[in-house]
Amino acid sequence: MHLVTGGAGFIGSNLVAALAARGEEVLVVDRLRDGQKWRNIAKHRIAGILPPDALPAFLTHAPKLTAVVNMGAISATTATDGDLVAASNITLPLMLWEHCAREGVPFLYASSAATYGDGAQGFADDDSAAALAALRPLNLYGWSKLAFDRCVADLLARGRAAPPQWAGLRFFNVYGPNEYHKGRMASVVFHKYQEAALGAPARLFRSDRPDYADGAQVRDFVHVDDCVAAMLWLLDNPRVSGLFNVGAGSGRSFLDLVGALFAGLGRNAEISFIDMPPDLLGKYQYFTEAPLGKLRAAGYTRPSTALEEGVGRYVRDFLMQPDAHR
């Protein structure tokens, strides 16, 4: 049985769908609350759903798990409750790491490109202590993800027990089905679609840097299918461990993204520019791009989904459909 924390969330529910399609038994750990998040897993057979606070007791008498995939986290880049973020993004995955090390269970977990901060140190998925110590995330969320990466590196350096396989996945700017519950933290594709669907122009942030034109800020936009494919490959290749970037491998501008969105709608792009919100000033990444050499060297060969293909498919096959969930 696979255990997937955050299994009703965005990336997690897409992984649950893929595992269920392969006939795997999957236990989802998540909180559904009173929103529409349950729809993310409504179409798929699961072994059950467990609230995160019940996880420690479950693990004391759990059957031997096939793998643990930790996708659960407080992922809002605007989060301010440090104690809550630390408990969810550091303490809980450490507990899962220790369980997997003790029981001999493969362990995959979500890191984030937010660990790279403004990108001044580059985007190399180097898990050495020196490389990790040099990174300066721009927000509490990014710090928490880096803190766990550093915990893993320290445990390994001290020769502590480790899972037979472990992989930290630094996801870049992910978009695709089942992100509808994420509010402000949903992808730019989702938000710009909502504007375009109402007949309004897509609004983009003005640049406050002279080296970037308005809308020319660059992100590595990666389709969620590519993220799931990388995780499935890792689960199928248990001898591969490490910290890996997961992105498209090439940065594209927000202007490119909006162009792909309107092309999916069969319309010419309409864009207006707005000032950046005050809470993002000084905390906004102007360029991200995921070097994929480390993952490729490990043997992963699946081509990344092109932005135009991925956005067009997301718009036509999900966002424009009455039932947008996978």
Shared domain check, 165 and 54: yes
Shared domain check, 79 and 14: yes
Does 126 score more than 90 pLDDT?
yes
Higher pLDDT, 277 or 150: 150
pTM, entire model: 0.95
Shared domain check, 73 and 180: no
Shared domain check, 71 and 189: no
Shared domain check, 201 and 106: no
With contact defined as beta carbons under 8 Å apart, do 306 and 259 qualify?
A: no
In a domain, 37, yes or no: yes
Q: 254: pLDDT confidence band, cut at 50, 70 and 90?
A: very high
Mean pLDDT of 103-112: 98
C-alpha pair distances (Å), 163 with each of 25, 92, 224, 238: 21, 16, 26, 10
Predicted local distance difference test score (pLDDT) of residue 274: 94
CA distance 98 to 87: 15
Does 130 score more than 90 pLDDT?
yes
In a domain, 326, yes or no: no
Q: 145: pLDDT confidence band, cut at 50, 70 and 90?
A: very high
Predicted local distance difference test score (pLDDT) of residue 316: 96
Predicted local distance difference test score (pLDDT) of residue 278: 84
Q: Which residues pair with 287 in a beta bridge?
A: 218
Residues composing the chain: 326
Q: What is the CATH number of the domain that holds 136?
A: 3.40.50.720
In a domain, 281, yes or no: yes
Predicted local distance difference test score (pLDDT) of residue 282: 72
Predicted local distance difference test score (pLDDT) of residue 76: 80
Token pair for residue 238? 């248990």
CA distance 104 to 237: 15
CA distance 254 to 247: 16
Does 279 score more than 80 pLDDT?
no
Q: What is the CATH number of the domain that holds 269?
A: 3.90.25.10
**Tens-place pLDDT, residues 191-205:** 999 999 999 999 999
SS3 118: coil
Mean pLDDT of 166-187: 95
Degrees to nearest 5, angle at CA 71 with 65 and 77: 160
Where does 138-198 have alpha helices with state H?
Answer: 140-157, 188-197
Does 280 score more than 80 pLDDT?
no
Predicted local distance difference test score (pLDDT) of residue 141: 94
Predicted local distance difference test score (pLDDT) of residue 276: 87
In a domain, 57, yes or no: yes
In a domain, 325, yes or no: no
Does 251 score more than 80 pLDDT?
yes
**303: buried, middle or exposed (CB in 10 Å: 19+, 13-18, 0-12)?**
exposed
Does 75 score more than 90 pLDDT?
no
With contact defined as beta carbons under 8 Å apart, do 324 and 177 qualify?
A: yes
In a domain, 324, yes or no: no
The amino acid at residue 196 is A
How do strand 166-171 and strand 242-246 relate by DSSP bridges? Answer: parallel
Predicted local distance difference test score (pLDDT) of residue 208: 87
Least confident segment among 103-112, 146-155, 177-186: 177-186
> Backbone phi, then psi, for 109, in 5-degree steps?
-145, 155
Higher pLDDT, 74 or 160: 160
Predicted local distance difference test score (pLDDT) of residue 79: 86
Predicted local distance difference test score (pLDDT) of residue 319: 97
Q: What is the percentage of the chain residues whose pLDDT exceeds 90?
A: 89
Predicted local distance difference test score (pLDDT) of residue 285: 83
With contact defined as beta carbons under 8 Å apart, do 138 and 287 qualify?
A: no
SS3 49: strand
Token pair for residue 303? 């081509």
Query: 74 is in which domain, residue-wise?
Result: 2-173+222-249+291-304
Q: Which of 218, 240, 222, 251 is nearest to 296 (CA)?
A: 240
Shared domain check, 148 and 53: yes
Active-site residues, by number, are: 141, 182
C-alpha pair distances (Å), 84 with each of 87, 166, 168, 252: 5, 25, 21, 34
Q: 309: pLDDT confidence band, cut at 50, 70 and 90?
A: very high
144: alpha, beta or left, given left = phi > 0 and alpha = psi -120 to 50? alpha
Q: Which residues pair with 68 in a beta bridge?
A: 3, 107
How do strand 166-171 and strand 107-112 relate by DSSP bridges? Answer: parallel
Does 3 score more than 90 pLDDT?
yes
Shared domain check, 232 and 90: yes
Shared domain check, 164 and 108: yes
> Backbone phi, then psi, for 202, in 5-degree steps?
-80, 125
Shared domain check, 207 and 65: no
Shared domain check, 106 and 184: no
Task: Please report, to the nearest 10 degrees, the dihedral formed by the alpha carbons of residues 125, 128, 130, 134 taken in order.
Answer: 20
In a domain, 117, yes or no: yes
**Tens-place pLDDT, residues 32-62:** 987 889 999 999 999 999 999 999 999 999 8
Predicted local distance difference test score (pLDDT) of residue 12: 98
Predicted local distance difference test score (pLDDT) of residue 217: 94
Please identify which residue in the block is written with the tokens 């999957």.
Answer: 26
Task: Please report, to the nearest 10 degrees, the dihedral formed by the alpha carbons of residues 21, 55, 36, 23 taken in order.
Answer: 10
Shared domain check, 298 and 259: no
Q: Which of 322, 218, 198 is nearest to 270 (CA)?
A: 198
Shared domain check, 198 and 67: no
In a domain, 114, yes or no: yes
Higher pLDDT, 13 or 284: 13
Number of domains forming the structure of the chain: 2
With contact defined as beta carbons under 8 Å apart, do 109 and 93 qualify?
A: yes
Mean pLDDT of 107-133: 95
Does 77 score more than 90 pLDDT?
no
